[in-house]
Amino acid sequence: MTSTTGTTARTGSAPALLAVLLPAMLATVIASDMVNLVLPAIGTEFGASEAELAWVVTGFLLMFSVGIPFYGRISDRVSLRRLFCFALLAYAAGSLICALAPDLLVLVLGRVVMGVGAAAIPVLSIIAVTTLMPADRRGAGIGVISASAGIGTAAGPAVGGGIGQFLGWPALFWIMLAIALVLLPAAARVLPGDAPSGAGRFDLPGGILLGLGAGLVLFGITQAQVSGLAAPSSWASLAVAVVAIALFGWRTARVAEPFVPPALFADPVYRAAVVIAFLAMIVNLGGLVLVPLLVVDVNGLGPGAGALVMIPAGVAVAAVSPLIGRLSDRVGTRPLVLAGLAAMGLFAVFLSACAGGTSVIPAGIGVLGLGVGFIFVLTPIISAAAGTLPGDRVGVGIGILQGAQFLGAGTGPALLGALVTARQQSGAGAVNPLFPGHEGAAYSDAFLAMAAVVVLALVVAVRMRPRAAAG
């Protein structure tokens, strides 16, 4: 994005920019899982089965996974102002459709439209911080954006469950509609309207193949969690996804200007950032999904009380994120990433040892440690990756990075949930010798699997070049 390399002085101050990006990011993340606890009420009202209700979540997530790389690539050709305003309008339209939905089909359609708009917010927010804020403040800006994402992820189920219980589930979408409409004029004023220059041809077939592959991977894994891997909807989706990704790779190697330039991955820091973001997100979202299920299934808490266990983690992430952002500007990437991954691994093992105890306090401590460790990883990784990208490839580079991050967010809970289900059906004891042997062995195994994923991420992080990682 060569025409937007100036600072925020061209369109507004850094605080004004963050004042738009932070609530937009917060609303987007909350919207992704705010419906989880009100799905039973929606099912009762519309007479829908559990499999049908899953599309209220899946429709949003599919558009998210497909849209993120597209928005990143398009941002190298279209101004941030136009893209962000379009995203807010789509988000508002989807919210209105959901709020007025007379049946489940219309509600799913509204969630799909919301996902089309919501997919733009994370990637465009990081691009805005990267291109509009001074380099020595980039980490702090990304830390603020990460804080809003952390708050939204932890608070989404609690907000959705509380508002849905007292005001009804349509109120959730009326609130999201109001937020989008309030942010629209502010975004038009703060974000730059000049179009990027120097962008090459747009490889639409390559983008379609990449989006199709990512979407079908997510859908196939989700169906495996619901119906089992032997279900045709699961294995067929995964098989077609493999074909789509293979065709994407074939096209990338043969066209002059592919959707994802292979030169992006020539930089070792960027390569490591993509892999680490994917693996760390599997663990982070796995904890955010499994811990509430643990305290509900094993400790006997209600859904609302189970969601409240997540609140301390959200508060801690919000407090730590800006500090980590400023610290990454000073000490570099590699030390923070290694410390964060080490913390995530230790707390995953802690959860594996304490899963299913009589008290829910260890579960709250464990998810808090996972969240704080994740912020130590994510904020420096994004800042370092952004620093390696040339100006005309910032959009596509950030889009791929966040696409990998979101793919981890979608596949992690599904795979770990399938592991929990399989272990519960087997009735076997926990693998972890530190587990005391009471109820919750299946969750103990899932948390131990999360620790194994962290080890893989650590192997990649250790091999990062210290000189480049400090960039």
How confident is the model over 373-405, as pLDDT tens digits?
Answer: 988 888 888 878 877 777 667 777 888 888 888
3-state SS record for 406-464: HHHHHHHHHHHHHHHHHHHHHCCCCCCCCCCCCCCHHHHHHHHHHHHHHHHHHHHHHCC
With a cut of 60, say whether residue 5 has pLDDT above it.
no
Residues 106 and 8 in one domain: yes
Kind and range of the H or E run holding 66 = helix 50-74
Residues 228 and 281 in one domain: no
Residues 246 and 280 in one domain: no
Percent of the chain past pLDDT 70, that is, above it, reads: 87
With a cut of 90, say whether residue 455 has pLDDT above it.
yes
* Average confidence (pLDDT) over 53-66: 78
**128-179: per-residue pLDDT in tens?**
887 787 766 766 777 777 777 767 766 676 677 777 777 888 888 999 999 9
Q: Which of 201, 226, 244 is the last residue of a domain?
A: 201
With a cut of 50, say whether residue 249 has pLDDT above it.
yes
77 burial via Cβ count (<10 Å: 0-12, 13-18, 19+)? middle
What region, left, alpha or beta, does residue 80 occupy, with left being phi > 0 and alpha being psi -120 to 50 degrees?
Answer: alpha
108 versus 427: which is more confidently predicted?
Answer: 108
**What is the CATH classification number for the domain harbouring 314?**
1.20.1250.20
With a cut of 90, say whether residue 462 has pLDDT above it.
no
Gap between the Cα atoms of 274 and 464, Å rounded:
12
What integer pLDDT is reported at residue 467 of this predicted model?
45
218 versus 239: which is more confidently predicted?
Answer: 239
Q: Which of 162, 184, 201 is the last residue of a domain?
A: 201
pLDDT tier at 32, thresholds 50, 70, 90: confident
Number of structural domains in the chain: 3
Residues 417 and 447 in one domain: yes
Alpha carbon separation from 371 to 119, 340, 377 (Å, rounded) = 22, 9, 10
Residues 323 and 440 in one domain: yes
Q: What is the pTM of this model?
A: 0.78
With a cut of 50, say whether residue 311 has pLDDT above it.
yes
Percent of the chain past pLDDT 90, that is, above it, reads: 15
Q: Which of 185, 201, 217 is the last residue of a domain?
A: 201
Domain holding 228, by residue range, is 203-258
Residues 441 and 305 in one domain: yes
Residues 97 and 110 in one domain: yes
What integer pLDDT is reported at residue 459 of this predicted model?
93
Residues 39 and 173 in one domain: yes
pLDDT tier at 11, thresholds 50, 70, 90: very low
Residues 226 and 275 in one domain: no
Residues 321 and 207 in one domain: no
pLDDT tier at 7, thresholds 50, 70, 90: very low
**What is the number of other CB atoms lying within 10 angstroms of the CB of residue 361?**
11
258 burial via Cβ count (<10 Å: 0-12, 13-18, 19+)? buried
**75-102: per-residue pLDDT in tens?**
877 888 899 999 999 999 999 999 999 9
What integer pLDDT is reported at residue 327 of this predicted model?
76
Question: Comparing C-alpha atoms, which of 183, 190, 186, 176 is closest to residue 80?
Answer: 190
* Average confidence (pLDDT) over 34-63: 78
Poorest-confidence range of 205-219, 227-241, 290-304, 440-454? 290-304
Residues 419 and 309 in one domain: yes
Residues 249 and 270 in one domain: no
**181-234: per-residue pLDDT in tens?**
999 999 988 888 776 665 567 777 888 888 888 778 877 777 776 666 677 777
What integer pLDDT is reported at residue 464 of this predicted model?
74
